[in-house]
Amino acid sequence: MTDPEFLFDFGSPNAYLAHKVIPEIEARTGASFIYVPVLLGGVFKATGNRSPMEAFAGIPAKLAYEGKERDRFVRRHGLSRFAPNPHFPVNTLAIMRGAEAARTLGVFEAYIEAVFAAMWEQGAKMDDPAVIAAVLTKADLPAEKLMALTQDPVVKERLLTSTTRAVERGVFGSPSFFVGDDLFFGKDKLGEVETAIAAAA
């Protein structure tokens, strides 16, 4: 069975919500999701897409519905720690490069947990270097090494390559999922993702 892929940017609240539900799917299916960092700003620029906040700015009822749908998802899955980030939207370039740096240092999973929690549970301003360093230090991660590596050309290139590759495969937003070559977009497609995993097995 080909492992499913989860393409994410920390700046997406729906990516956080999907991340919190993925372990349930892994437990039921035996699959292990491959986490692929992509820079959402780069994806938007390449595809002409915009965030819902921008795209639906002139349609208040649509934005209100998006919020209701998110709240239903939160209740359905018992994600009581979720909280909107007061600094949203946050420039995620540093923390997305940090994900690739964390992979280099062998602390990828712990980094993912710490940064998603900081963004969507603790309301941290995760485009402020001092805040990022404090979050990583509190999580017992090597903050100084990670932040230094975000400036490494190899790390920068890996994030650029994964973002470019995602667009080439049809990705236009986060969260996105692949089961084999089949693309699924949005946390509301996780049921279909699970069905596709089962079918592939």
| pTM, 2 dp | 0.93
Contact 140, 109 (CB under 8 A): no
3-state helix vs strand vs coil in the chain, percent to 5: 60, 10, 35
Nearest C-alpha neighbor of 47 from the set 164, 161, 188, 178: 164
Residue spans of the domains in the chain: they are 5-200
**To the nearest whole number, what is the mean pLDDT of the chain?**
93
Return d(Cα 24, Cα 109) in angstroms, integer: 16
Whether the per-residue pLDDT at 23 is higher than 80: the answer is: yes
Look at residue 167 in the predicted model and tell me its pLDDT.
96
Return d(Cα 88, Cα 167) in angstroms, integer: 24
DSSP calls for 37-56 = E--HHHHHHHHT---HHHHT
**Which pLDDT tens digit goes with each residue over 101-156?**
999 999 999 999 999 999 999 999 999 999 999 999 999 999 999 999 999 999 99
Choose which CATH entry (3.30.420.40, 3.40.30.10, 3.40.50.450, 3.50.30.10) describes domain 5-200: 3.40.30.10
Provide the 3-class DSSP secondary structure of residue 89: coil
Look at residue 113 in the predicted model and tell me its pLDDT.
98
Whether the per-residue pLDDT at 173 is higher than 70: the answer is: yes
Q: 52-56, 77-81, 84-88, 171-175: which has the minimum mean pLDDT?
A: 52-56
CA dihedral in degrees (84, 98, 148, 128; nearest 10)?
-10
Look at residue 64 in the predicted model and tell me its pLDDT.
82
Whether the per-residue pLDDT at 55 is higher than 80: the answer is: no
Whether the per-residue pLDDT at 94 is higher than 80: the answer is: yes
